[in-house]
């Protein structure tokens, strides 16, 4: 039921960029910040949002923190869309039959 946070998290271009960067392989905050235009603290804040949305996970490794993709958030979003998808199709069916009756 966390699809709301997922929408919010992925609505931001920078957060999408960070998220997509993590698809390649797990990365530290510094590595992620090196590929972004914004500052490192900004990346930290974005990672916090992504973590709340269950899109990433952290694993402290000594001095550094290794961030990696967590599929839970995407799964929530996918379930939300799947539920909608059937509703959309049935809505189309209802609309079509409605038009066939009216026209």
Partner DNA sequence: CTCATTGGTAAGGCATGACTTACAGTAAGC
Partner DNA sequence: GCTTACTGTAAGTCATGCCTTACCAATGAG
Look up residue 84 and give its two tokens: 């909608």
Cβ neighbours around 100 below 10 Å, total:
8
- Determine if 4 is a binding residue for DNA (CB under 7 A): no
- Determine if 35 is a binding residue for its own copies (CB under 8 A): no
- Determine if 48 is a binding residue for DNA (CB under 7 A): yes
- Determine if 10 is a binding residue for its own copies (CB under 8 A): yes
Residue choice 35, 39, 68, 71 for contact with DNA (CB under 7 A): 39
User: What angle in degrees, to the nearest 10, is found between the helix axes of 13-24 and 40-52?
Assistant: 80
- Determine if 45 is a binding residue for DNA (CB under 7 A): yes
Residue 69: partners with Cβ closer than 8 Å, 6 or more residues away: 19, 22, 23, 26, 55, 56, 57
Residue choice 24, 37, 63, 103 for contact with its own copies (CB under 8 A): 24
Binding partner at 1 among DNA, its own copies, none, C-beta below 5 to 8 Å by kind: none
């Amino acid at each position: 039921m966390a699809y709301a946070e997922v929408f919010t998290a992925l609505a931001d271009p920078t957060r999408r960029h960070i998220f997509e960067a993590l698809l390649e392989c797990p990365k530290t905050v510094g590595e992620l910040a090196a590929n972004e235009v914004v500052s490192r603290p900004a990346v930290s804040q974005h990672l916090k949002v992504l973590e709340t949305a269950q899109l990433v996970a952290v694993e402290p490794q000594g001095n550094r923190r290794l961030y990696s993709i967590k599929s839970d958030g995407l799964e929530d979003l996918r379930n939300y869309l799947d539920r909608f998808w059937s509703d959309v199709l049935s809505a189309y069916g209802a609309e079509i039959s409605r038009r066939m009756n009216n026209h």
